[in-house]
Amino acid sequence: MFNLQDYETVADRVSRFQKLHLGGRIVTKVISLDNSKGEVLAMAEVYREHEDTQPAGVDYAFGVASTYPQSMRKFYVEDTVTSAVGRALSLVLDTDKKPTREDMQKVQAHQEVKANIEQVKAKMADTSKEYVPVEKAEDPWTISSAAPVTTMEQAVETVKAVLGGTPVDESCKHGARVWKTGTSKAGKPWGHWKCMNHIQGDAERCDPIWYEIDKETGQWKPQVKY
């Protein structure tokens, strides 16, 4: 555990450098950028005096877009460059902590995600012996009890059985879709695989993949367009 307040922000570190070295300068470079993979390597050089030909401190930062929240993913390059600046300044300034507050916020976010995953795994383990409602093939409105599942593979097969063999890994360019069901105002059941792209400021979202109940089997099937 750590306290974020014990760490200096990059902005504070830059301000402290500018006060100590009025003629100093900071130079940043993007060494490599692969937007298809969402990866960037940035470098920062710190010069104590403007006329210096050799930097007093050099450091690097590697950024991966997928590790950022959706709302921040589009700024992963800028954030990685800022991280490199903070790391390089730690080599020039008097500081007992190389990471900045921004770096430790990423660590904290990663720990929170890991803790949430462990909670979900624990909950799945607690409920894995319970019976799961499954639609009877001969009557989609009748619920029966399915045998308890003990492995993820069995859970996947159970869900596939509910959907009448429909694959559960429908996805789009934004990642995995989410299965949703409901009933229309006319009382007709509907289901679809929904794109969950929630990038802030990006209205792009893939069209849902619609499903309907097969009248003969009583199971979900891709909707037929006429």
Note the pLDDT tens digit of each residue in 22-78.
999 999 999 999 999 999 999 999 999 989 999 999 999 999 998 888 888 899 999
Least confident of 85-89, 99-103, 170-174, 176-180: 170-174
Place of tokens 């006329």: 51
* Structural domain boundaries, residue 96: 4-116
Decide if 136 is inside a domain: yes
Q: Measured at the alpha carbon of residue 68, what is the angle toward residues 65 and 70, in degrees to the nearest 5?
A: 95
Number of domains in the chain: 2
Write down which residue in 84, 116, 148 finishes a domain.
116
For residues 75 and 167, state if they share a domain: no
User: Is 127 part of a structural domain of the chain?
Assistant: no
pLDDT in tens, 124-157: 666 555 544 555 445 544 444 555 544 545 555 5
Greater pLDDT, 79 or 126: 79
Task: Supply the pTM of this predicted model.
Answer: 0.49
E strand segments, 88-186: 132-136, 139-146, 171-172, 175-176, 178-183
Both 163 and 100 in one domain: the answer is no
Q: Are residues 105 and 155 in the same domain?
A: no
Q: For residue 122, is it within any domain?
A: no
Q: Is residue 98 part of a domain?
A: yes
Pick the last residue of a domain from 67, 90, 116: 116
In a domain, 123, yes or no: no
| Distance from C-alpha of 30 to C-alpha of 43, rounded to nearest angstrom | 6
- Domain C-terminal end among 116, 140, 158: 116
Do 38 and 68 lie in a common domain? yes
Share of the chain above pLDDT 70, in %: 69
One-letter amino acid at 70 equals Q
Residue 210 located in a structural domain:
yes
- 64 & 159 share domain: no
Q: In terms of domains, do 80 and 42 share one? A: yes
- Separation CA 58–CA 176 (nearest Å): 40
